[in-house]
Structure 1
Amino acid sequence: MRILKRLFKWLLTLSLIGVFTGAATFAGVYYYFSPELPDVETLRDVQFQTPLRIYSADDKLIAEFGEKKRRPLTFEAIPDPFIKALQAAEDARFFDHFGIDIKGLSRAAFQLASTGSIQSGGSTITMQVAKNFFLTREQTFKRKFIEILLALQIEQELSKQEIMELYVNQIYLGHRAYGIQAAANTYYGQDIDSLTLAQLAMIAGLPKAPSAFNPITNPERALERRDWILGRMLTLGYIDQQAHDEAVATPVTARYHRSDIELDAPYIAEMVRQQLFAVYGEALYTDGYRVWTTVDSDMQAEAIQALRRGLLDYTEDHGYRGAEASIELDTLNAEDQLNALRQHTAYAGLEPALVLAVDAEGADLLRTDGRHDRLPWEGIKWARPFRSVYWNGPAPKRPADVLSPGDVIRVMRDDKDQLRLTRMPDVQGALVALDPHDGAIRSLVGGFSFYHNKFNRATQAYRQPGSSFKPFLYTAALENGFTPASIINDAPIVFHDVSLEDSWRPENANGTFNGPTRLREALYRSRNLVSIRLMRALGIEQARAFMLKFGFDPDQVPANLSLSLGSAGATPLQVARGYAALANGGFLVDPYLISRIENDQGEVLLAANPLRACEECPEATTVAEAEPETSPNTPDTSRDENAGDNVLLNNLLPPEQLEAATPTAAPRIISRRNAFLIYDIMRDVINRGTGTRARVLKRSDLAGKTGTTNEQKDVWFSGFNQDLVATTWVGYDQPSPLGRGEYGGSRTLPIWMDFMEDALIDMPDNRPSAPQGVVRVRIDPASGKRAYSGQTNAIYEYFRSEDVPRERARSPEQQLEAPATEAIFGY
C-alpha cells in the first residue's frame, strides 16, 4: 500500500508538472507568436471577392465578370444535410469543440515529426478558416502553431454559425468556383438548396482536394470520396440506412455548367463592363456589384434573332461564297480530322462541319462533337455561286456542284428543324430600340455575333444615314413656316463648283421627277430634289443648326447641301435618339442603359433618374445653372475621357438624392404641334410610301423612314410609335456596295418588322391625337390650297391653325375662264 501511495503521488506530481509545463509552453508560444497574429475581428467585416453580375430589367442574368465565381450564403440558407455532410467529411465535432481537436492534432504532429509531412488531417473547420483567411498553405510547425492560436481566438470572437458561414463561402471547390453556392451552380446548374443528398455529399468531398476529387475531371475518385462521406454520415447517425443506400446508388450527374446566363446580350454586357470599369477599376470584378439594365429580355431576344435572320437572308440572296476551309481527308486519320475541325468555332448557332462524302442526295458530315450527320439536298440547293454583289452564278443541279469532300462548312437548323448549309455573313448590321418617354434602351445588338467580332456597330459605327436623316430636315422646315401642304418643285437641278472636276447633278432614286410636290408627299416618297430645294430655302447653316438639336455630333454633320440627302455620320443609337424626339412629342431624351447598381448586400448604390418627355415636369437645368450634389456613392467619371458621351451613367443618383428628386423634363426641341405633324407625315411612309411592307403589321400608329446611301453602301430603317423607337442598319464594315436591289425598304425594313411584330405584341395601338392648335382641312392635292366646293379628289391635311390656306383652289371651270400659273417653291 505504501508503494502504491508513493507511486500515485509521483504520477500526480508528474501530471501536475506536465500540466504546468504544457501551460507554460503554450503561454510561451502564444507570447512568442502573438506579435504575428492578425486581428480576427476583421472576419466580422470580411468582403468576399464576388464577381460583377449584370441583369435585364426583368431580372434575367446577362453576364458575369470576375475570376472567382462566388455567391455568398447566410448560415440560415445552408441546407442542414450539407452541414452534416461537411461535418462527416471535415470535422464531426465542429459544434462541440473549442476550435481544435486534440486527438487529430496529436496524430498530425506525430506524422509531421516522424515523416516530415502530414499524412492525415488534423485541422478543424475553425482552423481551416484561420488558414484560408490569414495564412499560407506551407506545412510547418510555426504555421501550425499560429493556426491553432488563431482558431482559439476565432472561437472566442465568433459564433459557430458565423464560422461555418465564413468557411462555406470562402473555400475553393474547383473550376473557378469559390463557395458552395457557386459549386452547386457549376457542377449541377442549380442552387445548393435544390441538390440531392448524393450531390451535397459530392460537394462536401471537394474541400480536401478540389482537383483529385473533382466529379468532372476525376469521377471515379470523386465517387469513392462521396460514398465514404455517406458512410461516415450513416455511422455518425446523420442519415438512416435507406437514405444512405439510395444516395450511394445514385450515379455521378455532375457536368460543367457555365454561369447561368439567361439572356444573350453580350454587346450590352460589354458596354456596362467597359464604362463601369472606368469608374470602379479592378474592384468592379471582386466587390460583388450587381447592375440592373433597362433591357427587356423578350425584346432583346427578338432583336438578336431578327437581325441574324436578316443578315443570313442577305447572305443567301447573294450566293454561296464557298467553303470556309479545306482539309485533306486522305492524309489524316479520324481523330486528326476531328481535331482539325475543332479549330473552327461555332458562332450564333452556325456550327462548323466537315464534309466526308458527297452523293446525289446530299452530303455526309462530321460534327465537332464527333457525331456523323446528314445534310440533305433540300438544305443545299439554294447555294447559287457568288460572283459579285450584283449577280450570282447558275443554280446548282446536284450537291457536288456546291460541296466537295474535305470542305469545312457551316450548318444550321431551319424553321423545320432540318439541317441547312449556311455561311458566316460578310455583311454586318445593328439594331437598337429605345423607350421614347425617357431614353431607356430596351434592346441593342451590335452585330451578327459578339464572339466573332466585338465591334459594337450600334454605338461605334458612324455611317451615313441617307434618307433616314430627312425627317430632321423636314421638321426644321415645319418649324420655319412650311406646312405639310407646301409645294416644292421636284425637278432637275445642277450645281457648278470650280473646285470639282464635274458638276453635281443629284437625282431621285428612281431617276424620275414629279414636278410640283407637296411636302408630305415628298417625304413619304423620299424625293431627293425636293429635300435639296428645301434646304436651300431654309439656308444651310440654319438647317444644320436645327438638325444638330437632335443630338448628333457636330464634327460628323457637314455644312453643305449633301446634308439634305443624309451625308452626315451617325451611329444607329444616335439616329434612334433623334427619332425618339419625333415619337415623344418633341423632347430630346438621353439614352441610358443602367437602371440601378447594388452592392453585394443588396443595398442600392445608384439608381437612374432620367430626363423624361413630360409636359408637366419642371425643365432640366443646365450645368451652368446648377452644380450637382455629390455623394460617396456618386461615380467619379473623371477617369473616363469620354464621360460626356456616356450613355450608361447618365442621371444616376444615390438613394438619398433620388428620394428628394422630382421627375425632370427633357429639353423640348420641337413644338408639340410640329411634332404631331411630322409624326403624321411619317405615318404615310408606311401607309403609302417607301415603307408600305410594314402595313402587314396592321397597326395605325406606326411611322418611320427608309434610308439608302449612294451605291447602296448603307441601308436603314427607323420607325416608331409613341411607346417604342427602333433603328436598324445593314452594311459592310468597310463600306462597299451591298448590291442590286438593296434598299432600306427591301433589306432593313423586314428586319425592323420582324422585331416590332413581337416587341409591340402587348402594346395597344396608340396613335397620337392632334394637339390644340392643329386642325384638319380638305385641300386640293395638286396645289395644296383649300379644296373648292364639291371637289371630288380633295384630301384631308393637318395644319397649325394660323397656317390654314386662305385661298381656295380653282375648279376646272374657273381654270378655263382665267388660267394662272401656280406659285411654287422653286429653290
Structure 2
Amino acid sequence: MLDSGARLGLEGDLRSDPPHAPPRDGKRSARAARTKHRGDRRVARRRRSVFGWFTGFLAVLGAPLQLLALGLLGAGVFVSVHAPELPSVESLTQVQFEEPLRVYSSDGGLIAEFGVERRRPVAYEDIPPLVINAFLATEDARFFEHGGVDAIGIGRALLSFVSTGTKAQGGSTITMQVTRNFLLSSEKTFQRKLAEVLLTLQVERTLTKDQILDLYLNQIFFGHRAYGISAAAALYYDKDLDALTPAEAAMLAGIPKAPSSNNPVTNPERALERRNYILSRMLELGQIDREEYEIAVLTPDMARLHRRQPDLDAGYIAEMARQTVVQHYGEEALSQGLRVTTTVDSRLQSAAQAAVRRALRDYDRRHGYRGAEAKIDLDGATEADMDAYLESVIGIPDLTPGLVTRASAGEAEVYIGSGRRVELGLKQVAWAQEFRNANWRGPRPRRVTDVLAVGDLVRLHNEGPGKDGEGRWELGQLPSVAGALVSIAPQDGAVRALVGGYSFNASKFNRAVDMRRQPGSSFKPFVYAAALHEGWTPASLIKDETVKLIGEQDWNPRNSDRKEMGPIRMRRALALSRNLAAINLLQSVGLEDAQNYIRAFGFDLDAMPLGLSMALGTGEMSPMKLAEGYAVFANGGYHVTPYFIQRIETGDGRILFESRAPRSCSECWYRYGDEPALVQGTQTGADAPQVIDPRIAYQITSLLREVVEAGTGTRAKKLKREDIVGKTGTTNDVRDSWFAGYQADFVTIAWMGFDDFEKLGRGEEGGRAALGMWVDFMGTALENLPIAQLDPPPGMVQVRVDPTRGTETKAKSGILEMVNEEFSNALLGPEPVRVAGPTRKADTSVRRSAPRVMDDLF
C-alpha cells in the first residue's frame, strides 16, 4: 500500500506524462526512475516526521507514559491557546473573605448578623500546629514538599480514570483547591483541570506556603453555613482554635470532604469513622504520638450546633441598620464583614421590649379571649406528629404555642413540644372571658372547658418561678393590638431604645419610625409654647368654651367630658387637656404665627392640618418625630436630630463612618445634687442650633409637671420621682393612646393602637394604656439615677398669682409662677381674659370631676 506521500508523487508523474506518450530512452529512463523513487522516499520520511514519528515513538512507550505524553501535549496546546484568558493570581494577595454584617449595641452586645456565610477569619500565625497538621494529614501530607502539583497524585487519578472510566479522584493538592475555590469553577472537566494546574504553578510562585494555607483554612466550607476553621470550631464545639483537642481537630479536618452530609451533627457515625482515619494518618506521619492517638480515638465526640444567639432582642433596630448599610454601601456590603455599632443600650432595649410586650398582653387580658388560634384533629397523633406541627407555628417571644390534648371542667393538659406537658386549672384561664367587642366581654368562665377544648392551638405565658421554683404557666394569646416605644437622649438625639411592635418576627412594620398617626393632645405643648413666645404666661387665663368658627360649619369640637370650664389658667388647661381652651388659644395666637414657630421643632408642616384642629394634634407623625420635638423642651431649647448609628467599621477595624451628631449644652440645663448647672440657656459647649428661648423650655417643663401632679398623667406618680414630666394623648373614639414624656436623660414616647384604626375601647386613653407602658420602661431606665434639678434660666422672675383670676396677688392663697421678666406686669397675656364676678365655687366643682376627664381628641 502506498502512503500518502507516495500517492501524491505518483499522481504527479501521471500528470507529467499524458497517456499514449512515446517511450523515452531506456537507460536514462531507468536511472531517472531510481532517482525519483529515492526522492519519493525522502519526501515520505519528511512528511511522516510530524505524525508518524510521534506515533512510532508512542508505540515504544507503555500505556501509562502514553497517557502522560498525550496529557502534556494537550496541556501545551491549552496553554498556548487559553493562557491569556486565565484569571490573574495576583488577586489572591488581596482576598477579602465574605463575612456577615454584624450589628451591635453601644455596649458591645450582638443584635443581629446578616449574610449567608458565617465566618470568623483568623490569621495563619494564630492557627495552632495541631489544627494545621490535621488538615495536612487528610488533604495534602506532602504540601511543604511539592511545588503545588503532586505528580504522584495526578498519576493515581489518571490510572483511576483509565481503569474505571469515571473521574472519581482529582489528585488535588491544597494549593490546587485554593486555585479552584478562588479562581475557577468546581466543574469536573479536563479543560478546567488543565487550567487549574497551570494556575496552581503560578500561585506557588506568587504566594508563600503559609499564605496558601491561610487562604485555604479561612475559605473552606464546614456545613451549616460555617466557613473557615475558626467559625467551624465555634459552631461545633463552642471553642477557640487553641482549645481544640486532637480528636476535635481531626473531626473538623474531616468535614470539608462532604460538609453538608458527613458533618458530626448530620451524620455522626460517618463523621466519627473519618475522624479516626485522620487520627491514624496523624499517627503515621508522626504528628501525634501513640498515647495521644489512643486517647483521641476513644474520646466520644461532643459536637453539636452552638449558634451564637443575639445578646438582645432588637429586630427593628437591626433592620434599620441593614437598610442604612445597603443604602450607602450597596447590597454587596452585607458580605464584607462590616460592623455597625448602634447607639442602643442593651439594658434599656431589653426593658423597652419587655414593657411593650407586657402592655400589649395586659391590654388583651382586659378585653377578653378571642379563642384558639387554630383547631387541630389530634386523633391518632403521636408526640412526633405534634412536635412537627408545633415547629411550623411561628415563634413569638414569651408566648409558647401548645396543643390541648385533654380538657375537663377542672383542668386541661397542653402539650408544648419535646415531651413536655403543662396543666392549666381554672385559675390559669380565669381571665379569658369571651371577647365580644372593645367595650364588652362575656361572663367569667366557670369551667376550664368554657375556654379550652381538645385540639385547640393556644399560647401559654410563663409568669416566672413561683414559691416552688417552678414556672407559673397560664393561658395567653397573641395580642391583636400594636404598640411602639422609642427613647432618645435629649442632648444629641441618640436612640437608646426602640421597639416597633410586639415582635419583629411577627410583624416587620416598624411603628416607631414608619407609622404615621395623629398624636392627639400630646401635641398641645407645642401650641402652648407658641403662645408663651407671643406673650402669654402660665398664669394667663384662656377660654374653655365653645369656639366660634367661621367657614368650618362641619366641625363641632368639644371637651371629652362635654363640659366647659370658662376662663381657666393656662397651667390648669394643659394639665386637664382641655380641648376648647387649646383651640381658643391657637385662634388668639394666630394660625400662621403658631405654624411658623412650631416649624422650629423639626415638624413637617406639610403633614399638618391648615386649620385650628392642629391644636388637637390632628397632624400625622411617627413616635420618633414626636420624640424629636419633645427633645427641644428637654434640653433647654436646642434642636437635635435622632440618630441610631454610632460607628461603622470594617472587619479589621478601619472606621468608615463615625457619628458626630450636633449636641446641646448638656451641662447647661439640668443638674444633679447641689452642684449648679453652668450658665443656663447659653451656647457653651453646644453645636446644635438653639431654636426656642430656654425660658419657654423651662415653662413648658413646669406645665408638663402639672400634668403628672394633678392632671391626666397622674399614674406616672407611681415612679415617685419629681423630675419626670409628660403629656397624654388620645385621638377621637380612643383609636390612639399616647404618652410623651421626658427627664434629664431620656425623652420617651409610648404609643398603643390597632393597625387598622379600630377603637381601643373605654378606659384605654393615653393616661392608662400608653402611660402604663411608659412608666414600666422609665422605671428601669431611671433606676439608680439621682433626681435631676432644673433651675430657672436668667431673665425670669417669680410672682404670686391669684389661682382664679390669674393676676398678681399678695394673698397667701396665691400660687407661685415663674414668668419672663418682661411679662411680669402683663400676666394675662396680649389678649387678657377677664373673670366676671366670683367663680371659685364653679372652679371647685370642676376640680372634683377632673380626675375622670378623658384626654380625647374631641
Q: Which interval holds the TM-score relative to the shorter structure?
A: 0.7 to 0.9
- Confirm or deny that 1:485 pairs with 2:507: no
Determine the C-alpha separation between the residues in 1 that align with 2:390 and 2:667. 62
Q: What does 1:85-484 correspond to in 2, within 5 Å?
A: 85-120=134-169, 122-330=171-379, 335-416=384-465, 417-484=471-538
Structure 1 equivalent of residue 556 of structure 2: 504
Which deviates more from structure 2 when the two are superposed, residues 95-104 or residues 202-211?
Answer: 95-104
8 Å CA contact retained: 1:704, 1:720: yes
CA distance 1:821–1:764, change in 2 (3 Å): closer
> 1:40 maps to what in 2?
89
Distance in 1, Cα, partners of 2:641 & 2:207: 50
Determine if the alignment matches structure 1 residue 725 to structure 2 residue 747: yes
Equivalent position amino acid for 2:814 in 1? A
Q: After TM superposition, give the deviation of residue 303 of structure 1 in Å.
A: 0.7
How far, CA to CA, are the matches of 1:474 and 1:286 in structure 2? 50
1:49-73 superposed Cα distances (whole Å, 9 cap, x missing partner): 2222211111222122222222222
Q: What is the distance in 2 between the residues matched to 1:723 and 1:180?
A: 45
**Letter of the aligned partner of 1:476 in structure 2?**
A
Q: Deviations over 1:131-185 (max 9, x none)?
A: 1112222334433333233222212211121111111121122122222223234
1:597 counterpart = 2:619: no
Q: Summarize the Cα distance change of 1:726–1:356 in structure 2 as closer, same or farther, 3 Å threshold.
A: same
Take 1:59 and 1:615, find their aligned partners in 2: how far apart are those partners?
25
Deviations 1:288-333 (CA, angstroms, capped at 9, x unpaired): 2221111111111111111000000000111111111101223756
TM-score (norm 1): 0.85
**Alpha carbons 2:230, 2:241 under 8 Å: kept:** yes
Q: Give SS of 1:366's match.
A: strand
Q: 1:346 to 1:115 in 2, by over 3 A?
A: same
Residue 95 of structure 1: how far off its partner (Å): 2.9
Residue 614 (structure 2) pairs with residue 563 (structure 1) = yes
Please state how far the C-alpha of 1:796 moved relative to its aligned partner.
1.8
In the alignment, structure 1 residue 792 sits paired with structure 2 residue 843: no
Query: Computing the radius of gyration over CA atoms, which structure comes out larger, 1 or 2?
Result: 2
Paired residues of 1:212 and 1:221 also in contact (CA < 8 A) = no
Report the Cα distance in structure 2 between the residues aligned to 1:279 and 1:807, rounded to whole angstroms: 53
Of residues 617, 627, 643, the one that matches 1:576 is: 627
C-alpha displacement of 1:468: 0.6
Q: State how far apart, in whole Å, the 1-side matches of 2:399 and 2:277 are.
A: 45
Q: Secondary structure at the match of 1:396?
A: coil
Change (3 A) 1:819 1:315: closer
1:670 to 689, 692, 703: 692
Q: Which of 592, 595, 599 lines up with 1:541 in the alignment?
A: 592
Structure 1 CA distance for aligned equivalents of residues 653 and 784 of structure 2: 31
Instruction: Kindly provide the CA deviation profile for residues 360-385 of structure 1, in whole angstroms up to 9, marking residues without a partner as x.
Output: 44211222445333234332122111
Distance 2:281 2:72 in 1: 38
What CA deviation, in whole Å up to 9, does each residue of 1:765-819 have, x standing for no partner? Answer: 222221111223333222222331xx332222111122224799xxxxxxxxx98
Once residues 766 and 807 of structure 1 are traced to their aligned partners in structure 2, the CA distance between those partners, rounded to angstroms, is 29
Q: Which residue of 2 aligns with 1:815?
A: none
**Is 1:522 matched with 2:573?**
yes
Shift of 1:88: 1.8
Give the aligned residue type for 2:127.
I
Match of 1:551 in 2: 602
Deviations along 1:372-414, whole A, 9 cap, x unmatched? 3323433212211111110211111121111011111111211
Name the structure 1 match of 2:791.
Answer: 769
Distance 1:53 1:273 in 2: 9
SS state of the match for residue 117, structure 1? Answer: coil
Tell me if structure 2 keeps the 8 A contact 1:329–1:406.
yes
Amino acid of the structure 1 residue aligned with 2:815: I
Relative to structure 1, the CA distance from residue 191 to residue 495 in structure 2 (aligned partners, 3 Å threshold; closer, same or farther) is farther
Q: Distance in 2 between matches of 1:554 and 1:496?
A: 22
Q: Identify unmatched segments of 5+ residues in structure 1.
A: 1-12, 618-661, 809-817, 823-827
1:335 shift after superposition:
4.7
Q: Secondary structure at the match of 1:375?
A: strand
- Partner of 2:443, secondary structure, is coil
C-alpha displacement at 1:452, in angstroms? 1.1
Residue 72 (structure 1) aligns with: 121
2:831 maps to none
SS of 2:130's equivalent?
helix
C-alpha separation in 1, matches of 2:604 and 2:827: 42
- Structure 2: which amino acid aligns with 1:375? L
Instruction: Tell me if the contact between 1:434 and 1:576 (Cα under 8 Å) persists in the aligned partners.
Output: yes
Q: Give 3-state SS (helix, strand or coil) of 1:611's partner.
A: coil
| 2:128–2:242 Cα contact (<8 Å) kept | yes
Report if the CA contact (8 A) 1:776-1:797 is conserved.
yes
Q: Distance in 2 between matches of 1:33 and 1:497?
A: 83
SS at match of 1:165: helix
Q: Which moved more, 1:519-528 or 1:194-203?
A: 194-203
Residues in 2 aligned to 1:251 and 1:140: alpha-carbon distance in whole angstroms: 40
Q: 1:682 to 1:132 in 2, by over 3 A?
A: same
Question: Aligned pair in 2 of structure 1 residues 569, 177: CA closer, same or farther (>3 Å)?
Answer: same
Structure 1 residues 21 and 202: CA distance shift in structure 2, 3 A? closer
Q: Judging changes above 3 Å, is the alpha-carbon distance between structure 1 residues 87 and 697 closer, same or farther for their aligned structure 2 residues? A: same
TM-aligned CA distance change 1:359 to 1:592, over 3 Å: same
Aligned partners of 1:494 and 1:505 also within 8 Å = no
Which AA in structure 1 matches 2:226? A
| Corresponding residue SS for 1:549 | helix
| 573-582 or 151-160: bigger deviation | 151-160
Q: In structure 1, how many angstroms separate the alpha carbons of the residues matched to 2:732 and 2:826?
A: 41
Question: Does structure 2 conserve the Cα–Cα contact (< 8 Å) formed by 1:705 and 1:717?
Answer: yes
SS of residue paired to 2:198: helix
**SS of the counterpart of 2:712?**
coil
Matched residue pairs, number? 750
CA distance in 2, matches of 1:572, 1:386: 29
Q: 1:664 to 1:40 in 2, by over 3 A?
A: farther
Listed one character per residue, the Cα deviations across residues 103-122 of structure 1 (whole Å, up to 9, x for unaligned) are 32322221123223344462
Q: Secondary structure, in 3 states, of the residue corresponding to 1:433?
A: strand
Q: Identity percentage over the alignment?
A: 47
| Alignment-mate amino acid for residue 734 of structure 1 | D
Q: Which amino acid aligns with 1:786?
A: E
Looking at structure 2, the residues matched to 249 and 663 of structure 1 have their Cα atoms a distance apart, in angstroms, of 68
> What CA deviation, in whole Å up to 9, does each residue of 1:683-704 have, x standing for no partner?
2222222222222222222111
CA distance in 2, matches of 1:532, 1:807: 20
SS at match of 1:781: coil
Question: CA distance change for structure 1 residues 108 and 681 in 2, over 3 Å: closer, same or farther?
Answer: same
Worse-matched range after superposition: 33-42 or 419-428? 33-42
Q: 1:742 aligns with which of 758, 761, 764?
A: 764
For residues 566 and 806 of structure 1, what CA distance do their matches in structure 2 show? 29
Q: Residue 684 in 1 paired to residue 706 in 2? A: yes
Alignment of 1:602-751 (within 5 A): 602-614=653-665, 665-751=687-773
TM-score by length of 2: 0.82
SS at match of 1:735: coil
